[in-house]
Structure 1
Amino acid sequence: MLQESTHWSSGNWQVKEGHADEFVELWQEFLTWTKDASEGFLGARLIRDLRSPDHFVSFAAWQDLDSMRAWQGSPEFAERFKAVHALCDDMQSGGYEVACEI
């Protein structure tokens, strides 16, 4: 996944207390849909903060910027994202491109 990707979407999720398991399940459903519905999607990871179990960071790898933007612009994206976001007290997201590699 890393070697093929030039663009990334990422989320910093602060989940409401008591909803972490439900969040993980909905996030997985959201990204499974993404895998099936989005050309250019290469894969995703959701990582959990060991010190704060309601804090997660997600990364999704994309072949190109157009693929990532098409995913974010689809009506179904908005619906599915809203369901995951509703389980959070705070959520910050962004899009990124490779600046250098080691």
Structure 2
Amino acid sequence: MIMPEHKYYTMAQWRVKPGREDEFRRAWKDIGQALSNIRHTPIQGRLLQSTDNPREFHSFATWKSDEDLRAARNEPSVEKAIQRTRDFCEESHLDAFLMTETFYEEELAEVSAEET
């Protein structure tokens, strides 16, 4: 199996205070703005909102390297933007991850065809 080139991620789980969802989304976008102004930027960032509980969000970003990820997290402007986003939350968990396995749609289609 071929592993994608970019395998470093940051992921976060956010439980937003009632009625603060719009403010939270704006604050989360400010994290992206802070990241765009520094040298170590992610490849992309995504924010997902639960369809079952609109106060639950998950976000992730893909990074070129662990060094870029760690350097960005230590930038004062990024730390400040993350804290501002956390201020709209009852609870939040942020962590860094290394992708260890993956699968592709082609492989899923092959498995599905074999099962029928």
- TM-score, structure 1 as length reference: 0.90
Residue number in structure 1 paired with 2:72: 71
Residue number in structure 1 paired with 2:26: 25
Residue 18 of structure 2 aligns to which amino acid in structure 1?
E
Tell me if the contact between 1:7 and 1:97 (Cα under 8 Å) persists in the aligned partners. Answer: yes
Residue number in structure 1 paired with 2:101: 100
Distance 2:39 2:86 in 1: 20
Residue number in structure 2 paired with 1:47: 48
How many Å apart are 1:38 and its aligned residue? 3.9
Cα distance change, pair 12–49 in 1 and its aligned pair in 2 (3 A): same
Residue 38 of structure 2 aligns to which amino acid in structure 1?
A
Residue 54 of structure 2 aligns to which amino acid in structure 1?
P
How many Å apart are 1:32 and its aligned residue? 2.6
Gaps of 5+ in 1: none
Larger Rg: 2
Distance 2:45 2:15 in 1: 18
Query: Are 2:59 and 1:58 aligned?
Result: yes
Q: For this pair of structures, how many residues does the alignment match? A: 100
Tell me if the contact between 1:40 and 1:64 (Cα under 8 Å) persists in the aligned partners. Answer: no
Cα distance change, pair 40–18 in 1 and its aligned pair in 2 (3 A): closer
Structure having the higher strand fraction is: 1
Residue 25 of structure 2 aligns to which amino acid in structure 1?
V
How many Å apart are 1:44 and its aligned residue? 0.4
Distance 1:40 1:22 in 2: 23
Gaps of 5+ in 2: 104-116
* Counterpart mapping for 1:75-94 below 5 A: 75-94=76-95
- 4+ long deviations beyond 6 Å: none
- TM-score, structure 2 as length reference: 0.80
Tell me if the contact between 1:40 and 1:67 (Cα under 8 Å) persists in the aligned partners. Answer: yes
Please give the secondary structure, in 1, of the residue aligned with 2:92. strand
